[in-house]
């Protein structure tokens, strides 16, 4: 019986693959791209266990000096590593919390708008900053938030928003990032809301539910699986805080609270011509990210929520 069931399943799988052969054929270029640009570069992780400097960079892998875990030990015992980890985790937690809440709220507001033209215009304007370079965003932010900038001039005071050498700088960075990415992130939530059965809203109306009650009892529960999956993916990328925004928004006063792991890898790796050390820090980021992703996925499954697999 088991052999028959196995053969039946195999036959069904082959038939399904044959029916979807055009879709599978269309996915081939993306699979090739994934292998070339995502998996082949993992070979470079070998540099994390070697002494790789400008003089030895051109040498074949087997001719470079093997140093074991020395690069990891140097990274973990570096005077900047502790504060860098605190900054990375703090900015990540704030970014995930503030970014998720604002994106969901913005999507809910857009979903409830009845004026189609105004809704489309607002959505278009909201996600345009996503395509603007961080160089431009940082320049605008500094003109507005620096000491003596536009906001200080209007309020006739000094708020020290960009020169506050404390975790308050994390909030400023996260709010700027929210302004840049909120509209773009809301697109996924809007797509999930657009797929909700309208009959559920009609049934809620018949039961006497007002607009807020319909949002709370229909829209949010129906969007919950999408929210959970995106949160799991965000947790997996918690240590991958962008180096560009930190470098461009920070200054010498707040650098202690602006340094994140990706920037630390750049400074200690490329900046110090020690590519092995930089690779070790990057490898640490990736491995911890994968572990966090599996943990978040497992926790979501144990709580009976939607998960990735």
Q: What is the CATH number of the domain that holds 133?
A: 1.10.3720.10
Question: 309 in a domain, yes or no?
Answer: no
Last residue of some domain: 66, 94, 114?
66
Give the CA distances from residue 296 to residues 68, 86, 225, 247, in Å, rounded to whole numbers and listed in that order.
Answer: 31, 20, 14, 29
Highest mean pLDDT among 43-47, 146-150, 268-272, 280-284: 280-284
Dump strand ranges (E) for 37-167: 50-51, 65-66
- As for how many domains the chain has, the answer is 2
Last residue of some domain: 66, 97, 117?
66
Q: Which two tokens stand for residue 45?
A: 């992780």
For the residues of 22-55, what is the DSSP string, one character each?
Answer: HHHHHHHHHHHHHIIIIIGGGGGGGGGGEE--TT
Give tens-digit pLDDT for 203-261.
999 888 898 999 999 999 999 989 998 998 899 888 888 888 888 988 888 888 899 99
Residues 9 and 119 in one domain: no
Question: 298 in a domain, yes or no?
Answer: yes
Residues 132 and 279 in one domain: yes
The answer, yes or no, to whether residue 282 has pLDDT greater than 60, is yes
pTM of the model: 0.84
Q: Which two tokens stand for residue 270?
A: 């490329």
Q: Report d(CA 195, CA 236) in Å as an integer.
A: 27
Residues 19 and 148 in one domain: no
Residues 146 and 248 in one domain: yes
Q: Report d(CA 223, CA 191) in Å as an integer.
A: 9
Contact 63, 214 (CB under 8 A): no
Last residue of some domain: 47, 66, 85?
66
The answer, yes or no, to whether residue 87 has pLDDT greater than 90, is yes
Residues 286 and 211 in one domain: yes
Residues 104 and 79 in one domain: yes
Question: 308 in a domain, yes or no?
Answer: no
Q: Which two tokens stand for residue 35?
A: 């292998």
Residues 132 and 176 in one domain: yes
Residues 53 and 85 in one domain: no
Question: What is the three-class DSSP state of 147?
Answer: coil
Q: Report d(CA 251, CA 165) in Å as an integer.
A: 10
The answer, yes or no, to whether residue 153 has pLDDT greater than 70, is yes
Q: Which two tokens stand for residue 132?
A: 């603007």
User: What's the mean pLDDT when you consider all of the chain?
Assistant: 87
| Residue 257, domain extent | 70-302
């Amino acid at each position: 019986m088991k052999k028959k069931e196995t053969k039946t399943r195999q036959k069904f799988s082959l038939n399904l693959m044959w029916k979807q052969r055009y879709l599978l054929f269309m996915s081939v270029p993306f699979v090739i791209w994934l292998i070339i640009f995502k998996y082949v570069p993992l070979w470079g992780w070998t540099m994390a266990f070697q002494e790789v400097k400008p003089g030895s960079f051109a040498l074949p892998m087997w001719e470079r000096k093997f140093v074991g875990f020395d690069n990891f030990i140097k990274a973990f015992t570096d005077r900047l590593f502790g504060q860098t980890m605190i900054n990375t985790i703090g900015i990540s937690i704030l970014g995930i919390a503030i970014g998720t809440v604002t994106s969901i709220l913005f999507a809910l507001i857009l979903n409830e708008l009845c004026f189609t033209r105004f809704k489309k215009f607002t959505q278009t304007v909201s996600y345009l900053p996503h395509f603007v370079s961080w160089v431009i965003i940082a320049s605008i932010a500094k003109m507005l938030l620096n000491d003596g900038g536009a906001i200080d001039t209007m309020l006739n005071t000094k708020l020290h928003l960009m020169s506050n050498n404390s975790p308050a700088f994390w909030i400023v960075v996260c709010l700027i990032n929210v302004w840049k990415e909120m509209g773009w992130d809301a697109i996924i939530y809007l797509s999930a809301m657009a797929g909700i059965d309208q009959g559920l809203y009609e049934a809620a109306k018949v039961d006497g539910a007002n607009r807020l009650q319909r949002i709370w009892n229909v829209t949010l529960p129906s969007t919950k699986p999408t929210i959970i999956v995106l949160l799991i993916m965000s947790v997996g990328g918690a240590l991958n805080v962008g180096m560009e925004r930190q470098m461009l928004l920070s200054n010498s006063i707040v650098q202690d609270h602006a340094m994140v792991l990706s920037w630390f890898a750049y400074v200690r790796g490329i900046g110090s011509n020690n590519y092995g050390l930089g690779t070790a820090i990057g490898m640490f980021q990736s491995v911890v990210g994968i572990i966090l992703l599996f943990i978040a996925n497992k926790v979501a499954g144990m709580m009976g929520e939607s998960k990735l697999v």
